Copies of this chain bind each other. A is one copy, B any other.
Amino acid sequence: MKVGKLSLDIMAKYIFSRSGAYDPAVLVGPAAGEDAAVVRIRGRHLVAHVDPISGSVELLGWLAVNVASNDVAVRGVRPRWAMPTVLLPPSADEAVLDKITSQMDSAARELGVAIVGGHTEVTTAVTRPVVVMAVAGEGDRYITTGGARPGDIVLMTKSAALEAAAILATDFGDEMRRKGIPEDVLKAAAGFIKQISVVREALAISDLATSMHDPTEGGIAAGLAEMAHASGASIEADPSRIPVSREAEALCKAAGLDPLRTLSSGSLLATVPEEKVEEALDRLRKLGVSAVAIGRVIARASFLVKIGDIEITNPYIRDKFFELFQ
């Protein structure tokens, strides 16, 4: 099978229809775009998410904690408990393990997340280090990817392809240099890793938003398509309003990637009723997080997402980032 996520029809055939026993406590189960599960425990809502990171070695620990925590936070619930599974190839030395766990520790401390368990092993089953991160939190309410309503405004924080640019500038630094990317661009983009968390901004506006999403694989385009798909609606976005940094632009171009269609953790997508947009933007400004309105939710149209002239009809968007490893 092709590298990357599975297509929707494959997911429907082999994944969504095979979800084990029925449990009425499960409020959000497996569904496209709904990455975090929600189960009820005595009137509280446990929100849990699991995500593998295999696309970076240099930033692996940091990304694993932040990306998985983002997916809990976009439910409007604070991520609190993490369980990493670290799989190392026999070629890995202690320095690799040291880097991964020290990054996980500092990322978790910064977010207020406790690492409560996990598993680490050296195995010939992996060719490069992989971290599968499970993160959970609990709260009295939650929102879903599928809550967007026609008329809502789509907000986006920071800029596109932050995650891809940070990885390109570190794991692929030498290759990028050879392709003529200047040192100052590499240095600035490597620093994007500090912007990968959307936890603070997601929690700041969760009571105003109808849906939130952390766009990872497939980028802003896939993130919008997943929100539209899960909400039974469509989204029209204005490409001229989607922020892309000059660093992400340059690095993506050098790597043959579209900055709107590649790893974009760190940029929160949220749909907010029109009358609450000013309040949401104001709160984000006070946090020091840049944010703009990039589009609007409309009733389900012939497309899921329209970005300028480009119509997207399938939430499955191939992210060419992973082809860099082939």
Contacts and interface: CB of A to CB of B under 8 A. Distances in A.
A51 interface: yes
A138 B18 CA distance: 23
Contacts of A136: 46, 48, 136
Given A41-B44, A83-B50, A30 B117 contact: yes
A181 to B, nearest CB: 24
A8 interface: no
A325 to B, nearest CB: 5
A278 interface: no
A5 B121 contact: yes
B41 A116 contact: no
Interface residues of A, number: 84
Contacts of A18: 101-102, 104-105, 115
Interface string A61-73: 0000100000000
Contact of A134 (B41, B124, B128, B134): B134
Nearest to A83: B50
B122 A2 contact: yes
A85 interface: yes
Given A46-B46, A116-B26, A37 B126 contact: no
A290 interface: no
A102 B20 CA distance: 9
Interface string A7-35: 00011001100111111011011100011
A88 B2 CA distance: 10
A127 interface: yes
B19 A54 contact: no
Interface string A201-235: 00000000000000000000000000000000000
A39 interface: yes
B122 A92 contact: no
A111 interface: yes
A288 interface: no
Contacts of A114: 19-23, 26, 29
B1 A97 contact: yes
A112 to B, nearest CB: 5
Contacts of A128: 125
A181 B94 CA distance: 40
Given A1-B122, A126-B126, A116 B21 contact: no
Given A14-B101, A42-B42, 17 more contacts: A1-B90, A1-B92, A5-B121, A6-B120, A15-B120, A20-B65, A20-B108, A23-B114, A34-B117, A48-B117, A50-B132, A54-B125, A124-B326, A125-B128, A126-B130, A127-B127, A134-B134
13 contacts: A1-B93, A22-B114, A23-B80, A23-B112, A35-B117, A37-B116, A39-B116, A41-B42, A50-B118, A52-B123, A83-B134, A123-B322, A134-B134
What 7 A-B pairs come out closest when comparing CB atoms? A20-B108, A18-B105, A37-B116, A37-B117, A54-B125, A23-B114, A132-B132
